[in-house]
Amino acid sequence: MGGAAAMTWIGAVLAVAGVALLRLAWARPRRSRALNGLGWSALATATILAWQGDGAWGVALASLFAMAAALVLLAVAGAKSPAGRAKPSDRKTGMLPEAGEPKRIGGRVLTFLVVVLGGLVVSIGLAIAVRGVGGLLGWQEADGNALAFFTVPLAWAVLASVLLMQARRRSQIVTLAVCSAPAFLFLLTGVGT
């Protein structure tokens, strides 16, 4: 086994140890700061060692071992935990109104339009801004286009999550406006495109 492969495997073992330390820290009645710190430090060190060993492939391998360890530990904890005594609610969280409550169809449709369509338009605008920044930095056109294509789904997912967590329509509109500002800068000036 070469030195690079050994570092990757050491990183994988350290990642498993980090997950085990975190589970141990979180299973206590009061979370242990020392074990918590050791667990996160082990995961960070595992990432560095795996990167030194095999780059992105090494990090992927080490994280796969960490996720497998977390799956096993959480499955064991779930199997051992006692069944809950409280009767679960019949109401799905905010999905359907209780009997007699207004359905608020208009508000639900507006939320859909703001989050899905508004988020998509702003995400495309952010992709245009990212491509513009690439043009300003002297990137090749293909590189800027590829990064723009990667930007749309990532920005859309993050933006949709943020918008759905906001309770007021005004804060959703402000978020969309702030996130669309970079796009307007590049669309109005034409710089970098």
pLDDT mean over 46-63:
92
What does the alpha-carbon distance between residue 63 and residue 16 come to, in Å, rounded to a whole number?
A: 9
Longest dimension (CA), the chain: 70
CB 183 within 8 A of CB 151: no
At 102 the pLDDT is: 73
At 80 the pLDDT is: 87
Domain ranges of the chain: 3-78, 105-189
At 118 the pLDDT is: 94
CB 136 within 8 A of CB 192: yes
pLDDT at 41 over 70: yes
At 27 the pLDDT is: 85
Which tops the pLDDT comparison, 144 or 71?
71
At 92 the pLDDT is: 58
- Six-digit token pair at 178? 């702030």
Report the phi/psi class of residue 112: left, alpha or beta, with left for phi > 0 and alpha for psi in -120 to 50: alpha
pLDDT mean over 8-25:
94
Mean pLDDT of all residues in the chain?
87
Residues near 143 by beta carbon (within 8 Å), at least 6 away in sequence: 134
What does the alpha-carbon distance between residue 6 and residue 53 come to, in Å, rounded to a whole number?
A: 7
pTM across the whole model? 0.50
At 191 the pLDDT is: 62
At 73 the pLDDT is: 94
What does the alpha-carbon distance between residue 73 and residue 63 come to, in Å, rounded to a whole number?
A: 15
129 closest CA partner among 180, 178, 174: 180
pLDDT at 192 over 70: no
